[in-house]
Each structure stands twice: as C-alpha cells, then as structure tokens.
C-alpha cells in the first residue's frame, strides 16, 4: 500500500451503479432504503456517506460489504463485480477483499493488540497462513500505524487513539485496498473524538488506503472527507468536496443540513444571467443562482451563511442591506454570534463576527451581505421536504447550527 491522493485515471476502488434496496416494514409498508444510487470511490479517496438517521447510509455501506443483498443494480470492487442483479452475482463478504471498522472499533477485550490484529489472518478461510508469516504481518501492520510497542497490551490498557490505531492495523493487515467505517467514533466524547478524527485523517493520507465512512455528523464529514455523498431518503442529493457542499449546496436540504444558514423565501422579480433578485418579507435580495434556472414569479429561497454577513452602524453601500436592531450578542470565544431583527417584518437573522464589540444589544445597525454570498435555490425541488406543500408559509426561517 502506498501513500496516494485520489487520481482520476486509475480503476475506481468502488463503483456502485443504480443500486436499489427495499425493506418491508412489519406494517407492510415498503421503504426505499437505497433508491437508485450510483457513485464511485477513487483509489486513495476518503468518501463520507452523510445524512440524518434513516436516510440509508448504513444500508448502503452494508450492501457494499456484502452484509445486505440489494434488489437491483451492481457493485464493483477494484473492477471486480461483487454484486450484479442482472448477472446474478453476489460475492460473500469474506471474499470481497474489504475490511470494516465498527462502532467503538469492536476490538476483542480479552485479546492483546497482537492477537486482535492477527485474528483476521488466523480466521481466514482457505489456505492457512504460516505462524511466522502471521507474526511478521501483524508486526508490520502495528509498525505501520505507529503502535509497534503496544503488541502485548489489552484494549482496556490503551487510550482511544491507540485503540483506533489497533483497529486500523487489523483492517489493514489483509492488505485490503478498501476500509469501510460504520460510525466508529459515535460513542466517544467530543474532545477525544476531535483528536481521533485528526489522527484518522493523517493515517489515511499517509497510508493511502481508500475509505468509505458513514456518519450523521457534518463536522466529522467535513474534516475527514475528500468527497461527501449527502443522502436523503435513500438518494444521493449531492456528491462533492466539503468546500463544494458547503459553499455551493445543490438543494435547500443540503444547505440546511451542513452548517448554519439564514434563509428567507420570496418571489423572483428579476433574472439576469447567473444573478436574480428575490423580493422577500424583509426586502430585496440580489443573489447567485448557482446553476439553477429561474423565471420571474418563481418562489425561491435566498440563503446566506452567518459568517458572510456584516454588521455596521453606518449604512453600507452593499446592494443587500437592511436596517435592524441587535437583539443578543453571544460571545462564544472564537467569534460573537449576533441575533438581529431586520426589516419591516422584524425577521431574526444571525451573523457571526470575530469582533465582540461591533454593536451593543438594543442598538440600531445595518446588516449587509454581498450578492456573491447569497445562494438562491428553488423552493419546490423534489428533494425538498417542503415540495408540493401549499401550506409552507412565505416567511423567513432561521436554520439553527447543529
Ligand atoms: N432490516 C430492516 N427491515 C426493515 N426496514 C429497515 C431494515 N433496515 C433498515 N430499514 C429501514 O431502511 C431505512 C434506512 O435505514 P439505515 O439504517 O440504512 O439508515 P441510516 O441512515 O444508517 O440511519 P442511522 O444513522 O439511524 O443508522 C430506514 O427507514 C430503516 O427503518
């Protein structure tokens, strides 16, 4: 295994095409857990499957591992078909040449680090591996992840970071190119989790294995991933780099799921190339269409991140500006979060500033945001929870940070 960054030229390590998996509930209702999903993981790529509970990410990971049999579609691992509904191929998990790391790493507590890492080699089907070879490969894997000196320790005698390294060594000892992670950090407290993420990123970038990682935690996804697949109701609604997902969300669902964002729904009054004007309850917005098509009269959501807003006592020249009153500055250390009620509608918007002394609570001030920083997204998109509903109020909504 060599350190690597994703390359477009080599054969993808995972190719999922038009995959479908349905479950029948006890009530008889059918759930489309995976609904026509296609995506690829390139060699050396770290891909995160991200979405809320029930969106289908675990089912997708388990289908790739061979622990769940899909209904339709195909899966290839390093070019080899491991599942194809058309060709009736379904390779069992142990022959797919992939490793999986489960919640809390699932290390055997009664086994030393050495024995934990040796376990996949000893329990392999087919030709037995000589004892000496096993010992050599285990030590090599432990050295690779930098915990060679811990071979005689038990998991209970190790830190979280060391346990993660042992789990990684156990996953890598087979020389499998692909490691699947099923929320391995979900039972770890926040501070340690941050450190383990940092460790995992540096190990993956150093060793170059390909990773497919399931999480519902957007911060985790942003920190770990080369690319993120955002899932909603069994579908991938956006597949892109963390930067693309954050700055150019394809839908309102993605925009709201990743980070905090201000949103106001209004009516398109002008369309000019990639720029539109939206008339909203607290004034006009000029924003960017980010690839969507709009016509005059369409309902649209103008969305902007709190860190992109500015708060000033003097009226700015920025095209998007509204007078308001500061309600509650909240100092959170790295920045201050201002809640400001703006416009005739007295809508609450949030904006974040590194400065805590901009405007005092109760004072009047101007909120402004550049047109480039306002995303205008369709309201009636199919993947949107509000789609088709006539009861959604044409009113501003503030989406909290999670
Ligand atoms: N064995 C099963 N029988 C019936 N329905 C199932 C089964 N497994 C999963 N589902 C349903 O399929 C959908 C997707 O479930 P899945 O576990 O993949 O979601 P998830 O995104 O991983 O959620 P979580 O983060 O809570 O684990 C859900 O609606 C779930 O109820």
Instruction: Give Cα separations from 278 to 232, 284, 292, 320 (angstroms).
Output: 27, 6, 14, 11
| CATH code given to domain 14-247 | 3.40.50.300
Query: Is the distance from the beta carbon of residue 54 to the nearest atom of ligand 1 less than 6 Å?
Result: yes
**CA nearest neighbour of 32 among 62, 59, 69:** 59
Residues of the chain with pLDDT > 70, as a percent, come to 91
Ligand 1 atom showing the smallest separation from residue 25 Cα: 4
Tell me how far the alpha carbon of residue 396 lies from the centroid of ligand 1, in angstroms.
32
Q: What dotted CATH number matches 252-399?
A: 2.40.50.140
Domain borders along the chain are 14-247, 252-399
> Mutation test of ligand 1: which of 31, 185, 217, 220 has the most ligand atoms closer than 8 Å to its C-beta?
31
CA separation, residue 197 to residues 68, 276, 283, 346 (Å): 28, 40, 42, 41
334 CB under 6 A from ligand 1?
no
Query: Is any ligand 1 atom within 6 A of the Cβ of residue 35?
Result: no
Is residue 53 in contact with ligand 1, taking CB distance under 6 Å? yes
Choice from 25, 32, 54, 216 to test ligand 1 binding pocket (greatest atom count within 8 A of CB): 54
CA distance 141 to 173: 6
Cα(336) to centroid(ligand 1), Å:
39
Distance CA 205, CA 52 (A): 27
Ligand 1 contacts CB of residue 67 (under 6 A):
no
For atom 7 of ligand 1, which residue has the closest CA? 23
Q: Is ligand 1 within 6 A of the CB of residue 34?
A: no
**Candidates 27, 29, 33, 229: which one to mutate for ligand 1, based on the most atoms within 8 Å of Cβ?**
33
d(CA 226, CA 106): 26
215 close to ligand 1 (CB < 6 Angstrom): no
Distance (Å) from CA 55 to ligand 1 centroid: 7
Residue 18, Cβ density class (10 Å: 0-12 exposed, 13-18 middle, ≥19 buried): middle
Per-residue model confidence as pLDDT tens digits over 328-385: 789 888 899 999 999 878 889 999 998 888 888 899 999 999 999 999 999 975 444 3
* pLDDT of 387 higher than 80: no
CA 27 to ligand 1 centroid distance, Å: 15
pLDDT of residue 381: 57
> How many residues would you count in the chain?
402
Q: How far apart, in whole angstroms, are the C-alpha atoms of residue 363 and residue 361?
A: 6
pLDDT at 251 over 90: yes
Which band of pLDDT confidence, cut at 50, 70 and 90, is reported for residue 235? very high
Kindly calculate the radius of gyration of the chain based on its CA atoms and give it in whole angstroms.
25
- Work out the average pLDDT over 254-258: 92
What tens digit of pLDDT does each residue of 57-90 get? 999 999 999 999 999 999 999 999 999 999 999 9
Looking at the CA of residue 214, tell me the nearest atom of ligand 1.
22
| Angstrom distance (rounded) from CA 60 to CA 232 | 12
């Amino acid at each position: 295994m060599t350190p690597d960054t994703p390359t477009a030229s080599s054969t993808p390590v995972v190719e999922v095409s038009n995959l479908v998996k349905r479950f029948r509930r006890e009530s008889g209702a059918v759930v489309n857990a995976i609904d026509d999903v296609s995506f690829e993981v390139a060699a050396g790529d770290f891909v995160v499957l991200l979405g809320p509970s029930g969106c289908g990410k675990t089912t997708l990971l388990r289908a790739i591992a061979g622990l769940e049999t899909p209904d339709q579609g195909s899966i290839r691992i390093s070019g080899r078909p491991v599942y194809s509904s058309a060709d009736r191929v379904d390779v069992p998990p142990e022959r797919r040449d992939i490793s999986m790391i489960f919640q809390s790493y699932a290390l055997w507590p009664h086994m030393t680090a050495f024995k934990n890492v040796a376990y996949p080699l000893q329990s392999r089907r087919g030709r037995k591996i000589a004892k000496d070879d096993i010992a050599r490969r285990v030590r090599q894997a432990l050295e690779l992840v930098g915990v060679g000196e811990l071979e005689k320790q038990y998991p209970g005698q190790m830190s979280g970071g060391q346990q993660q390294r042992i789990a990684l060594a156990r996953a890598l000892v087979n020389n499998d190119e692909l490691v699947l992670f099923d929320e391995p950090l979900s039972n770890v407290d926040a501070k340690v989790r941050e450190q383990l993420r940092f460790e995992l990123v540096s190990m993956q970038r150093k060793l170059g294995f390909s990773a497919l990682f399931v999480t519902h935690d957007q911060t985790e996804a942003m920190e770990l991933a080369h690319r993120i697949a955002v899932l909603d109701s069994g579908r991938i609604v956006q597949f892109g780099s963390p930067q693309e997902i954050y700055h150019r969300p394809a839908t309102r669902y993605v925009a709201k799921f990743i980070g905090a964002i201000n949103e106001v729904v209004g009516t398109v009054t002008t369309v000019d190339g990639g720029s539109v004007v939206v008339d909203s309850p607290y004034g006009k917005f000029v924003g960017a269409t980010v690839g969507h098509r709009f016509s005059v009269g369409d309902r649209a959501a103008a969305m902007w991140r709190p860190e992109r807003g500015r708060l000033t006592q003097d009226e700015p020249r920025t095209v998007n500006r509204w007078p308001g009153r500061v309600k509650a500055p909240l100092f959170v250390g790295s920045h201050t979060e201002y809640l400001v009620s703006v416009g005739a509608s007295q809508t609450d918007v949030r904006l974040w500033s590194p400065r805590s002394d901009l405007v005092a609570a109760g004072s009047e001030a101007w909120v402004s945001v550049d047109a480039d920083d306002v995303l205008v997204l369709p309201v009636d998109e199919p993947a949107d929870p509000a789609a088709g509903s006539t009861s959604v109020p044409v009113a501003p909504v503030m989406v909290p940070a999670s």
